[in-house]
């Protein structure tokens, strides 16, 4: 099980604007501190944390942050409509389009996905895979 994912950023204000446009709608809360941004899903009293957490931090070595070539973080959305809304919100919040919302021929008939780059260049996917929604072949 993946416990957390961390991406690097040089400008925390730009990163927060982008991720605040996406992650709260997916249920994540934010804890911001001097070390960066920590997004986590709520933990009901007496329960274990729901993983993974998502962190946005400056690199520990002090060098500029760089996006990993071939690295991508995917977030599960509740619906195709939410994928479209969050993709638009991410663009409005300083992200760049890496693939408009829609179905892809290489994936299953129910896999609806959109791709963004955050302001630092990290690749983010937002997807829905709900078989109760219209599929690619419907």
| Boundaries of every domain in the chain | 4-59+71-128
Answer yes or no: are the C-beta atoms of 2 and 52 closer than 8 Å: yes
Please indicate, yes or no, whether the overall pTM of this predicted structure exceeds 0.75.
yes
CATH topology of domain 4-59+71-128: 2,3-Dihydroxybiphenyl 1,2-Dioxygenase; domain 1 (3.10.180)
Per-residue pLDDT of the chain (138 residues; tens, 9 = 90+): 789 999 999 999 999 999 999 999 999 999 999 899 999 999 999 999 989 999 999 999 999 999 988 899 999 999 999 999 999 999 999 999 999 999 998 899 999 999 999 999 999 999 999 999 999 876
Owner of token pair 């619906």: 79
Name which of 103, 128, 102, 99 is nearest 115 in CA terms. Answer: 99
Q: How far apart are CA 75 and CA 65, in angstroms?
A: 22
């Amino acid at each position: 099980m993946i416990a957390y994912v961390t991406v690097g950023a040089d400008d925390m204000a730009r990163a927060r604007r982008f991720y605040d446009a996406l992650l709260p709608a997916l249920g994540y809360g934010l804890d911001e501190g001097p070390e960066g941004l920590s997004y986590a899903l709520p933990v009901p009293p007496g329960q274990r944390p729901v993983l993974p957490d998502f962190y946005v931090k400056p690199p520990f070595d002090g060098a500029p942050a760089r996006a990993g070539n071939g690295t991508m973080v995917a977030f599960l959305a509740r619906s195709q409509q939410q994928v479209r809304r969050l993709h638009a919100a991410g663009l409005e919040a300083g992200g760049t389009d890496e693939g408009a919302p829609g179905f892809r021929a290489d994936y299953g008939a129910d896999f609806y996905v959109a791709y963004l780059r955050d302001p630092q260049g990290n690749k983010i996917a937002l997807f829905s895979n709900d078989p109760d929604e219209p599929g690619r072949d419907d």
